[in-house]
Chain A
Amino acid sequence: MLSDLIKTIKDDRDFKRNITHWETIAAREGSYADFPDDVEPVLKEIYTGRGIEQLYSHQRECWDNVTAGKNTVVVTPTASGKTLCYNLPVLNDLLKNPEARALYLFPTKALSQDQQSELNEVIDTACLPVKTVTYDGDTPASIRVAARDGGRIIITNPDMLHTGIMPNHPKWIKFLSNVKYIVIDEVHIYRGVFGSHVTNVIRRLRRICRFYGSDPQFICCSATIGNPKELAENILEAPVSLVDNNGAPSGEKHFVLYNPPLVDPVQGIRRGVVLESQNLALKFLRRGIKTIVFCRSRIRTELISSYINKRLSNIFTDNSRIRVEAYRGGYLPSERRQIERGMRDGSIQGIVSTNALELGIDIGGLDASIMAGFPGSISSSWQQAGRAGRRATSSLSVLIASASPVDQFVIENPGYFFGKNPESALIDPDNIYIALDHLRCAVFELPFAPDEDFGRQSKELLMYLEEEGVIRLTGGKYYWSERGYPAESISLRSATSENVVIIDETGGKNIVIGEMDRPSAKEMIYDKAVYIHRGEQYQVRKLDIDNKKCYVAQSNLNYYTDAVVKTDIKVLEEDKRTELSGCALAEGDVLVRKQVAKFKKIKYMSHENVGFGEIFLPEEEMHTRSAVFIFSEGSKAGASFDRIPDELKEHVIGRIGSLIKNVCPVFLLCDSHDLGVAERLRDPHFDEPCIYIYDNYPGGTGLSEGIASKSDKILMAAYERITNCSCEFGCPSCIGPDDEEPVTHNKKSRIITFFQEWLGR
């Protein structure tokens, strides 16, 4: 079926015109291995009963590594039998040793639930004596005790481990003294500041395990990133063996880059991603091809899925017997399970999703994936493309470019996209802010000997905490000597975990239909907003932010709503200013404020703006730290910036901001999402042109201090990045693609000149 389609679209002149690149990746034979001889017969039986007669070579390799006692990281594309890599050796050992326990860590609750049901299926087949429990914020208090005492596999997330389990480790004695394996799935998620936190969580976990006499072995799984082995070794602070020879077979894979046609060649306006992706999806679905569409926002997910359903709708044919669902964060767990099941059993043929489905949630095999816009990183693109692809048949992935300069660059430069390695994940567990936070937790958990190993600077940090009176050195050990419970006030992630519950009040009902994190709620479900949930339209009656509730009622409006978000930065306190060679650098506390003051009403299908509404909500504020490059008067940067023609100034400063932000992660060992950037032509506080680069974690995690102390190197690296980049007018790797068509001013060369004058090169 798919091969017919591929042929058709290859021959379709209209379609072909818009293709900028067609990459064919040859089919690959599977590479298999026998079940190991020493695997428990009952396990082999269960898996054979599930149609697994043989292992893939990488599953066997993982088994061999694990049974040899090595920490292991498996790099697994989607649908290559990842969970079996760890479940087989873990279950096997748990069956052999009735006391042994295992801890599974997943980055999200949804993944935990997914794993729980998968394990249940295996375990229930033969009533294996391996009680598996998900222990997270949703676990009812009534089953917690039984979970702690009787659970042999505990599935949780790093946040729960950090605030709930470890500070109360004496309640977990039985589990922790017997824990033999720790499985960390989706380890590539633990990058940047989040990864640095998680590394410290693992340090603490190891300490507690040592106290109870256990020394667990680690099994990690990672998506394809630039440095999986290095990342795992950095997180575990131990040697890790890498398994990356994927033995799963795959059919031929077609990766198509598609640029929507110009509708107004004069102004350079192209057909939109929303329209193009639904056209394509419909074309695929009507031919019986199971298709996933990835969108960049929750609103788009709902829009595209309802457009597709609308165009399929026909009561006589039951919508041509094609069912299409949306999928995103914020649905109720039961709804998500239902959709996942529907995908697996074939009752749903099409799905429109956010990147929520980029991770390893099991939705079975798909034939085609459509990316409605570039997902933002090379590794995400491959993850999303990987959702399409079965073992035996061919698959198709289409990346549809939006009008944004980055998308247009990627689509027009296939060499860039296909030649670039996936991004590397960096962490800095010895970041003093993060390490200090976790050291406090560690001392709370167990008295600390001064010579214990806990990161590079633990000795100095302990002294510091002692001077602060937080811990006390007595009898040769540091003891926690404060009344508080430190883990409570330390969050591993920048995003708040507070959720607003969405309640349907239609006709006197009072039913929870979904949830949303607080910052998004302010931007999406304000009063009078249109909220679409699995294709059903609701209008918000009242968003009660204080009580974390949003009341909605079903509606039938001909428009949806889109908030206009304004971000602004206010300097709270400038506590340091340094004169660099060529500019000034300030450091201080800032308030990053996001304000949604109005929303647009956008008509369905035509997407024309049919009005505005006002939003009355408090700003979302984040108090954090920032480094500020100031092109002060009289400095070299200031003088050079002055010489730039006025109409170019904004472009130049904006691009320099992104450039500097993009080179920072390498020096700060963080992720680019950990930093925010704002450029000002004339800043109200400094009264000069300046660039803020701020820490995206509330309170700051030392990144802005890192920028300050490494500013020379960072600026030099930025200069080198732009001069060494082979592009002509800018690309996503340096200052970002130019948005002018045709380019009238070469901003890249102007920026190089500016840098030369600034840095005196």
Chain B
Amino acid sequence: MDLKDLRGRLDAIKQQSAATPDEDSRTAKPEQSDAGEVLLENGWNKVEDMVYEKVSVIKNALPQNVSSILLNKIQSPDRKIPASDLIFYDTETTGLSAGAGNIIFLAGFGELVPGTDNFQITQIFLSDFPGEPAFLDRLKDFISPERIYVSYNGKSFDANVLNTRFSMNGIKAEFGYQLDLLYSSRRLWKNIIGSCSLGDIETRILDKHRELDVPGFMIPDLYFDFVRTGRWDTIAGVIAHHLEDIASLAELLTVHEQLFDEAAGGTPGPGNDTGAGTTDFFDQLGLASMLIEKRPEAAVEVLKQAWGAGNYRAGIELSLIFKRTDRWEQAIMIWEKLWADGRSIFAATELAKYYEHRAHKPETALEITEKMLAMERFRIAQHLPDLNKRYGRLKKRTSR
């Protein structure tokens, strides 16, 4: 077997792709001792071979109770639930995709200690691969079908990888409800800030600026460096980053709560002065869509404000709610306004439908339809057949 040729060949390929390997990490020989020993000097405890743990506490990170707006699916609308039912979690992995070779090396769980203001984060670290079964065994203590799992993109990534690791190691563990703040954050802020990575949410929404943070994409390589070299400086940043992520989760949930509370109290919206600069910056339609099911009146208030400020999509949403709940007068007011501005084929159609079927004033409906037909911008292929059909029908009815 000509290993030499193969090596030469692969090296040649490497040079071509101009990738310069990190000399430092390539020359360092793997240590036979447990790289994790260095964690002991930095405030960590060893719980098993290659498994380390550290508890950090943050004061006043969370309100004692949280509303159930985000838990529509599992909670009744009117009850607040104790924040201590929630468990905030995040993992760091050796790869960025799923798959059997992607391993979790750092997991953290944040909980509000009942009866206190202490938000307690337990970080668990795997210092090398063979310790994985013991590591997962320890993680399993935090997994229970009874609890609610708060994460950022955990529903489709972290929980998935955790389940993969558990099943590969023959460990049975069942999560409770996944409350993934990525989805609600997208509804609240995507239209405003675009990207909704946790980093963007931190700087734009939480007004939180990390200094010397480790970029997420470097994390796998830093970990591989750590297991090879056992140097604290390779991994310290990753551990700090991870702790910060979980703290941000708590803050992010708190911001959600403020928004919901203010909406319920009828005073949310741009210009309101909460001082923090955080809750005055959100997509009103997104907030309303979250509120609509369990707090419909709060949703209406949010939409009214937006409509009042000239948001015409909010007007449409609002009119639909009014229509559904038989508040025709208010719905018509909105449609009339939109129609008067000549802006909305939707509003005109709704009005025509209203006058034809509900108010039984076919003449008015015909008038509107005729106006619509006369307007070039409404005469587009998609709408024309319906429009013509309505026109024909109304014409017949009014001439009878």
Residues of A at the B interface (CB closer than 8 Å) are 166-171, 173, 432-433, 436, 443-447, 456-457, 460, 463-464, 468-469, 472-477, 479-486, 488, 573, 575, 589, 705, 709
Contacts and interface: CB of A to CB of B under 8 A. Distances in A.
A589 B15 CA distance: 13
Contact of A170 (B1, B25, B30, B100): B100
Contacts of A447: 129
Chain B contact residues: helix, strand, loop or mixed: helix
A620 to B, nearest CB: 20
B143 to A, nearest CB: 16
Given A170-B167, A474-B128, A483 B100 contact: no
Contacts of B101: 167, 443-445, 480, 485-486
B380 interface: no
A446 B100 contact: yes
B221 interface: yes
B263 interface: no
Contacts of B286: none
A485 B129 contact: no
A220 to B, nearest CB: 27
Nearest to B6: A432
B130 interface: yes
Contacts of A488: 97
B2 to A, nearest CB: 8
B7 A170 contact: no
A472 B28 CA distance: 13
Most central of A169, A477, A709 by chain B CB within 10 Å: A169
Interface string B75-89: 000000000000000
B315 interface: no
Contact of B100 (A167, A432, A468, A477): A167
Given A464-B7, A474-B128, A444 B94 contact: no
A446 B165 CA distance: 11
B220 A170 contact: no
A169 B101 CA distance: 10
B131 to A, nearest CB: 8
A475 B135 CA distance: 15
The list of the 4 closest CB pairs from A to B, nearest first, reads A475-B130, A444-B101, A483-B220, A480-B101
Contact of B99 (A443, A444, A463): A444
A169 B98 CA distance: 11
Contacts of B30: 472-474
Contacts of A589: 12, 16
Contacts of B220: 482-483
Given A464-B6, A483-B95, A169 B129 contact: no
A1 to B, nearest CB: 55
Given A170-B163, A170-B167, A472-B227, 20 more contacts: A167-B99, A168-B98, A170-B164, A445-B100, A446-B100, A456-B1, A457-B1, A460-B1, A460-B3, A464-B6, A474-B130, A474-B227, A475-B128, A476-B130, A477-B129, A477-B130, A481-B129, A482-B220, A486-B101, A573-B12
Nearest to A442: B101
Given A170-B164, A170-B168, A443-B101, A705 B224 contact: no
B164 A171 contact: yes
A469 B224 CA distance: 9
Contacts, number: 94
A147 B69 CA distance: 34
Interface in B5-59: 5-7, 9-10, 12, 16, 25-26, 30
A485 B165 CA distance: 16
A481 B130 contact: no
Contacts of A463: 3
A436 B100 contact: no
B94 A481 contact: yes
B99 A432 contact: no
Contacts of A477: 129-130
Nearest to A468: B10
Nearest to A572: B16
A432 B220 CA distance: 28
B192 interface: no
Given A469-B25, A481-B227, A483-B94, A475 B129 contact: yes
Most central of B9, B101, B221 by chain A CB within 10 Å: B101
B96 interface: yes
A170 B97 CA distance: 14
14 contacts: A166-B100, A168-B100, A173-B167, A445-B100, A464-B6, A472-B129, A472-B228, A474-B30, A476-B130, A479-B129, A480-B103, A589-B12, A705-B9, A709-B2
Interface of B: 1-3, 5-7, 9-10, 12, 16, 25-26, 30, 94-103, 128-130, 163-165, 167-168, 220-221, 224, 227-228
B224 A169 contact: no
A667 to B, nearest CB: 15
A485 B97 CA distance: 7
Contacts of B164: 168, 170-171
Contacts of B102: 485
A573 B25 CA distance: 30
A485 B1 contact: no
A3 to B, nearest CB: 61
Nearest to B8: A575
Contacts of A469: 25-26, 224, 228
A590 to B, nearest CB: 13
Most central of B25, B102, B129 by chain A CB within 10 Å: B129
Given A170-B164, A472-B30, A575-B12, A444 B96 contact: no
B129 A483 contact: no
A555 to B, nearest CB: 26
A169 B130 contact: no
B258 to A, nearest CB: 36
A709 B6 CA distance: 13
A474 B130 CA distance: 7
A165 to B, nearest CB: 11
A436 B26 contact: no
B242 to A, nearest CB: 17
Most central of A167, A482, A483, A485 by chain B CB within 10 Å: A483
A447 B7 CA distance: 23
Contacts of A169: 100
A444 B12 CA distance: 24
B101 to A, nearest CB: 3
B98 A436 contact: no
Contacts of A476: 130
B99 A485 contact: yes
A436 B7 CA distance: 12
Contacts of B130: 474-477
B95 A485 contact: yes
Contacts of A475: 128-130
Contacts of A167: 99-101
A417 B7 CA distance: 45
Contacts of B25: 469
B102 to A, nearest CB: 8
B165 to A, nearest CB: 8
A475 B165 CA distance: 18
Contact of A432 (B1, B163, B221, B228): B1
A483 B99 contact: no
Given A483-B95, A485-B95, A464 B3 contact: yes
A214 to B, nearest CB: 15
A76 to B, nearest CB: 36
B379 to A, nearest CB: 18
A464 B2 CA distance: 11
Contacts of A457: 1
A746 B228 CA distance: 68
A472 B3 CA distance: 19
Nearest to B35: A474
A479 B168 CA distance: 14
A477 B167 CA distance: 20
Nearest to B9: A705
A469 B228 CA distance: 10
A486 B30 CA distance: 23
Contacts of B221: 483
